[in-house]
Amino acid sequence: MRLVVAECSARYSGRLTAHLPLATRLLVVKADGSVLLHSDGGSYKPLNWMSPPCTMSVGEPDDEARSRGVVEVWTVQHRKSDDRLEIELHATHHDSAHDLGVDPGLIKDGVEAHLQEMLAAQIELLGDGHTLVRREYMTAIGPVDILAKDGEGGSVAVEIKRRGDIDGVEQLTRYLELMNRDPLLAPVRGVFAAQEIKPQARVLATDRGISCLVLDYDAMRGVDDVDSRLF
């Protein structure tokens, strides 16, 4: 990985045409040839970039460019499309190269998955008499996290989220709509379960006759641990 801090201007053409006026920026050249052009603010998205696979070539400025103070011209060309990024470098303030090696990558900890496991194991949290039918109950539009039956034999569909937002309620609503068309299942009641339920989501859920269940992760894990110790 090469890091350069330099005054530069850039021109991108490909899916759109754009340019960056002269300013001081961070240029990152990754091992796979990809290039990022970052400013000192904004988000994680670069001002401009070229994704791999691509090839970078360093060239000399022509006379016109040199008269504008350009010292070096980088041309980054995508290998599979005609996307092209041209960077004109003026003064360079920093330039260093580093060997980073291969990255193991991000590992997403499935808190949601864990909550699902634990709620399946502690299904009585839904209410007395509830029994588990199955986890990841498949429907035409995707798997419902948990399908259960209540004490009276009615079906209960549970959607689990770490953070209970409106989107989750919408998702559960779609499932319920579909499942209630199935005479073998209907009527299906909905339960929206999450570690934290946003007020708006609670209002929407309640309005649609969906119950809300706040899950206490630590308490549930405690119960889980006790259960494990019994074996």
Residue numbers at the binding site for DNA (CB under 7 A): 12, 14-16, 18, 42-45, 48-51, 78, 83, 85, 105-106, 108, 142, 163
Note whether 41 binds a second copy by CB under 8 A: yes
Parallel, antiparallel, or unpaired for β 48-50 and 17-29?
A: unpaired
Q: Which of 63, 80, 108, 225 binds a second copy (CB under 8 A)?
A: 108
Calpha distance 202→200 (Å, rounded):
5
Note whether 195 binds a second copy by CB under 8 A: no
User: Smallest gap, in angstroms, from Cβ of residue 22 to DNA?
Assistant: 17
Please check whether residue 17 is in contact with residue 8, taking contact to mean a CB–CB distance below 8 angstroms: no
| Residue 85 binds which entry of DNA, a second copy, none, CB below 5-8 Å type-dependent | DNA
Place of tokens 């970039």: 49
Using DSSP, state whether 169 is helix, strand or coil. Answer: helix
Q: Which of 56, 71, 111, 166 binds a second copy (CB under 8 A)?
A: 111
Going across the sheet that includes 142-149, the strands are 131-139, 142-149, 155-164, 188-197, 211-214
Calpha distance 95→128 (Å, rounded):
66
What residues line the site for a second copy (CB under 8 A)?
1, 3, 5, 9, 15-26, 28, 30-32, 34, 36, 38-49, 51-52, 64, 68-69, 93-94, 96, 98-111, 113, 138, 140-143, 162-163
